[in-house]
Structure 1
Amino acid sequence: MHKKLFIPGPVDVREDVLLKMATPQIGHRTKDASALQRGISEKIRKLMYTENEILLSTSSGSGLMEGAVRSCTRKRAAVFSVGAFGDRWYKMAIANNVPADIFKSELGQPTTPEMVEEALATGKYDLITITHNETSTGIMNPVDEIAEVVKKYPEVVFCLDTVSSLGGTKIEVDKLGVDICITSTQKCLGLPAGMAICSFSEKARKAAEQVEHRGLYFDLLELYKYIQDKDYQYPSTPSLAHMFALDYQLENIVAEGFENRFARHLEMAKLTREWANKHFEMLAEEKYASNTLTTIRNTREISVSDLNKELGKRGYMISNGYGKLKDVTFRIAHMADTQIDELKTLLSVIEEILGL
């Protein structure tokens, strides 16, 4: 029996979207492939509210995260972490011999504008990484406030991880001054895992030109130059199956309406937060709570594993905590094409199992 997924990703994918992945293959060096890739980029620009170039990568979002910190750090990177995925960005920098410092918040606490100001005021850093939405802690950072600080430092390349938020909440890339906005397919976009996407600004391009050793596969400057020179062709073989589905799904997102989609995600988030506060306790403060996933303190000390076994018998799956939070939290995702009535049913089933 298929389990309806309420986990941080991969998400449930609609059957019509899955079927698009079975579209017959075309030559990846053809004009049809160029048109497909160009069309996707044009749609993503609208969803990101940006005029910047869009780069596609046959990888997870981590690939472009690594590419960003390696390709565009000239002096030193300031990596801000509110959980496991911020920590991972720091590990990527160190593994690639990129000078970097990590600025960690307490689990369940956000990155604050004051933290960013204090770091950038030193003049040591020319690249900053921020996790917009952290699925391990359920934190959505105050990116609007952080962006106002970063704008004071025009030499700093601003990288933003929106892997678990783009398509589920409004992120105005150009208004925020984000140079590299990274996402991937298996979260709010409602597709299978396997493709990553990022915006790439002129500032980021100029920074990358000053970096000698940018790697190869995830060299963002190489990707940028190739699609300019070759009319939206890519240097390595792309996953056309993902692209067929992504192009189709972006049409669905346009049809739903961006604002309607964001409002649906927020409605689901509010419902889950209310439920969590009634029966358990939220990890994140309300004003920093994610719109796409809720991390809940396990104040009743239930066995999340046993709960998931019972949910599985009924066709559902949620997620336990991540890393250090494994036994003390559990997580309910509400993203992509999940509907409010489906979420209400899940919460009712959990209440029934736990006798709440």
Structure 2
Amino acid sequence: MTNLNPVRSDKHIKLFIPGPTEVRPEILDAQGQWMLGHRMPECLELIGRIRPKLGIVFQTEKRVLISASTGSGLMEAAIRNTANGKVLNCVNGAFSQRWQEITEACGRENEVLNAEWGQPILPESVAARLSVGGFDAITVCHNETSTGVTNPIEAIAQAVRSVPNGDQIMILVDAVSSLAGVSIPFDAWDLDVLLTSSQKAFALPAGISFAAVSDRAMAKAATVPDRGWYFNFHVLEKYLLKNQTPATTAVSLLFALDKQLEDMLAEGMENRYARHLAMRDRTIEWAESKGLTPFAPDGYRSPTVTCITNDNNYDISALN
């Protein structure tokens, strides 16, 4: 196919990785708009168009904060803003382990609830650990990218709320590799922070991230000292209410986001979720036809990331 963009390379690398994911030419073109100042009326209008559409994707009436960072930045923000006491880090893979690393790097006391890699975090295990008391927050990955396991977040959230003082425990969820490809109703599941970033199911270039934040989490943040400035939830919301960001943001990515959200909603979110499930099922069907086994157990297989056990000892470097 003729390259109509003289700047874009003709070498189109196919990405067989969990992210960054393929970005459509239309999205690449959208981010090529003339640059705007982040305080200009045109940029305020752009953010004003984006905000309600993000609310639909997150299924929330609460604020959805926008950060010029990767999802890991908002993971740190979640800890710095909502964890003033002990944190329970639920670890069943590399990215849930990152929650643990960030918690410890921020100087917060923590305990770790481990599950074998390739297995889910179980609600009853969460309830048992939290029932001893003394916990401020719990961290969990909705979709553990490293293993292809989707954790049962709705049931985990119900388990958290069922323990004594559970209504005050912050539920912090990383949905970097699932949100926009899987339905995660933030309000209905009573979560406190649900974060994601641009380069996975949103299918955008990397460099921007989003987090739905509950009123409970905002109230908690007001009591936590030394939250910093760049990732301070109250600073972010202060500017968001004016359709602004505290500092210069990734304006080009906002153009791309606006276009992608418009296309996602035109497709219909339920149709989008069904399409991801169909692609997951087709991928597993192909793998099993080659004598390969999905790494995640049935019932917990991610709709967006499929990990395969290398039963046949293929040379992965040669495949790449």
CA distance in 1 between counterparts of 2:283 and 2:134 reads: 41
CA distance in 1 between counterparts of 2:202 and 2:240 reads: 23
Query: Counterpart in 2 of 1:225?
Result: 238
Give the TM-score, by structure 2 length: 0.93
Deviations 1:240-295 (A, max 9, x none): 00001001100000111101100000001111122223321111101011100111
CA distance in 2 between counterparts of 1:236 and 1:27 reads: 11
Query: Counterpart in 2 of 1:311?
Result: none
SS in 1 for 2:195: strand
Deviations 1:135-162 (A, max 9, x none): 1000001112112112221001111111
Whichever residue aligns with residue 294 of structure 1, its letter is: T
How much does 1:192 deviate? Answer: 0.4
Deviations 1:285-332 (A, max 9, x none): 010111001111101011011011xxxxxxxxxxxxxxxxxxxxxxxx
Contact kept? 1:164, 1:187, Cα under 8 Å: yes
Deviations 1:20-69 (A, max 9, x none): 11100112112222221122121011011111101000010000001101
Superposed counterparts of 1:10-49, under 5 Å = 10-49=20-59
Contact kept? 1:71, 1:221, Cα under 8 Å: no
Whichever residue aligns with residue 86 of structure 2, its letter is: R
Structure 1, 37-46 or 283-292: larger mean CA deviation: 37-46
How much does 1:216 deviate? Answer: 2.2
Superposed counterparts of 1:236-251, under 5 Å = 236-251=247-262
In structure 1, list runs of 5 or more residues that go unmatched: 309-356
2:313 corresponds, among 277, 301, 305, to: 301
CA distance in 2 between counterparts of 1:124 and 1:41 reads: 36
Alignment partner of 1:177 is 2:190: yes
Whichever residue aligns with residue 177 of structure 1, its letter is: D
Count of residue pairs the alignment pairs up: 306
In structure 2, list runs of 5 or more residues that go unmatched: 1-10
RMSD after superposition? 1.1
How much does 1:165 deviate? Answer: 0.3
CA distance in 1 between counterparts of 2:80 and 2:110 reads: 11
Structure 1, 15-24 or 118-127: larger mean CA deviation: 118-127
Query: Counterpart in 2 of 1:331?
Result: none
Superposed counterparts of 1:207-356, under 5 Å = 207-228=220-241, 231-278=242-289, 279-308=291-320
- Percentage of identical aligned residues: 40
1:93 corresponds, among 103, 107, 110, to: 103
CA distance in 2 between counterparts of 1:73 and 1:164 reads: 24
Whichever residue aligns with residue 33 of structure 2, its letter is: T
SS in 1 for 2:21: coil
SS in 2 for 1:2: coil
Whichever residue aligns with residue 303 of structure 1, its letter is: D
CA distance in 1 between counterparts of 2:128 and 2:41 reads: 49
Give the TM-score, by structure 1 length: 0.84
1:148 corresponds, among 150, 158, 163, to: 158
CA distance in 2 between counterparts of 1:203 and 1:225 reads: 17
Query: Counterpart in 1 of 2:174?
Result: 161
Query: Counterpart in 2 of 1:116?
Result: 126
More helix by share: 1
CA distance in 2 between counterparts of 1:113 and 1:88 reads: 20
Deviations 1:175-195 (A, max 9, x none): 111111100000001100000
SS in 1 for 2:89: strand
Contact kept? 1:137, 1:284, Cα under 8 Å: yes
